Amino acid sequence: MDRVARFKLYRSMLECRGLEKRAYDLFMQNLIKGTSHLGLGQEAVAAGFGTAMRPDDYTFCTYRGHNHTLVRGVPMTAILGELMGRACGLLRGKGGSMHLTSTQHGAMGSYAIVGAHLPIAAGAALSAQYRKTQQVATAFFGDGTTNIGAFHEALNLAVVWRLPVVFVCENNLYMEYTPIEQVTAVKNPAADRASAYGLEPILIDGNDVDVVYETALAAYEKARSGDGPSLIEAQTYRHGGHSRADPGKYRPSEEVEAWLARDPITNYRARLEKLGIDGETLGRIEADVQAAVDLATETAKESPKPPLEIAGTDVWADGGAEWRN
């Protein structure tokens, strides 16, 4: 793998980490309300796929979707602004943390009902196939999604129609609070289901961004060659709880420690140094990313609240909300 790709992967993970740590801080300062679902610890999946895909590819993610949206090139200010309910927000406060979307970046939405976006991603892939654009749709989802009907319906349809779609399960071992293994018939919730749909089981270390990146490249190559969908299970771990309301106390401390030692970012930094990239270069990237997070935070904080009249717009394509004459 070339150096440029590695720098991109490292920077992408740092951006995710920096943005979400800041989101956490802003929550503690009561500048972000409601809820947020952080992907701290899971950055390698979003960064690996985001770096491997084409700018015009489609991504569909979950309510834990800050990172997957950011890696498409969506500005940090727009994401933090949305979390804070500001006019500069990506959706001007009409969607919030769980619905980040930027169609101009191919980020086709964050879906907050488990499983919904898998068939929707299949539909985007059907559209790409029909229009012969060579675009690929990627759906990111958690381990809990593998037990909902939409997962199975989407996989079956995608295989039957040979759709250019990649299904990426981020298995972080817990649905919300309950360990996935306690409520699932198979050990590997996604990979062990692959054969039911005639797919190759793909189980990878989701904390190794190089592995994720290479796996993504292969899946995109397959999809673009007309060879249909892939189902990838990336094993990873969230450093925090399910959402803001959850301190994650149900997890044994040895388990947490073991996974903290597998932090995708610190380990990747060590690998890059071993490959001869000097600490000063890496430090420059880190400082750069931190400055970007700081600037985005300040810009978002200065942004006013959204104009109240937009609460009644954009129900319909004509921009309005009228239902009668």
Partner 1 sequence: MAELSYREAVAAGIAQEMRRDPDVLFLGEDVAAAGGVFKTTEGLLDEFGPKRVKDTPISEQAIIGATMGAAMTGLRPIAEIMFSDFFAVCWDLVANQIAKTRYMTDGQCSFPLVIRSANGGGSRFGAQHSQSIENWAMAIPGLKVVAPSTPADVKGLLAASIRDPDPVMFFEQKSLYSVKGEVPDGEHVDTLGAARVVCTGTDVTIAALAAMVPRALKAAKILKSEHGISASVIDIRSLVPLDTQTLLKSVSETGRLVTVEENPRLCGWGAEVASIVAEELFWDLDGPIVRVTTPHVPLPSADSLEDEVLPNVERIVRSVQRLVD
- What residue ranges bind partner 1 (CB under 8 A)? 58, 60, 90-92, 94-95, 99, 101-104, 108-109, 111, 113, 115-128, 130-131, 137, 149-150, 153-154, 156-157, 160-161, 310, 313-319, 321-325
Shortest reach from residue 310's CB to partner 1, in Å = 7
Shortest reach from residue 48's CB to partner 1, in Å = 23
Shortest reach from residue 33's CB to partner 1, in Å = 17
Residue from 36, 42, 44, 41 nearest 11 by CA: 44
Closer by beta carbon to partner 1, 129 or else 215: 129
Joined tokens for residue 25: 């801080």
Closer by beta carbon to partner 1, 136 or else 272: 136
The 3-state DSSP class for residue 203 equals strand
Shortest reach from residue 26's CB to partner 1, in Å = 21
Joined tokens for residue 66: 């800050």
Closer by beta carbon to partner 1, 2 or else 318: 318
User: What b/e sequence results for 169-204 when a residue is b if at least 16 CB atoms lie within 10 Å of its CB, and e otherwise?
Assistant: bbbbbbbeeeebeeebeeebbbbbbbeebebeebbb
- The answer for residues whose C-beta is within 8 angstroms of residue 267's C-beta and 6 or more apart is 207, 208
Query: 293: number of CA atoms within 13 Å, CB side?
Result: 23
Give the single-character DSSP code of 144: G
Joined tokens for residue 226: 């007309």
φ, ψ of residue 295 in degrees (nearest 5): -65, -45
Closer by beta carbon to partner 1, 155 or else 293: 155
Closer by beta carbon to partner 1, 304 or else 319: 319
Closer by beta carbon to partner 1, 186 or else 315: 315
Distance (Å, whole) CA 241 – CA 213 = 26
Contact present, 51 and 71 (Cβ < 8 Å): yes
Shortest reach from residue 72's CB to partner 1, in Å = 13
Shortest reach from residue 79's CB to partner 1, in Å = 14
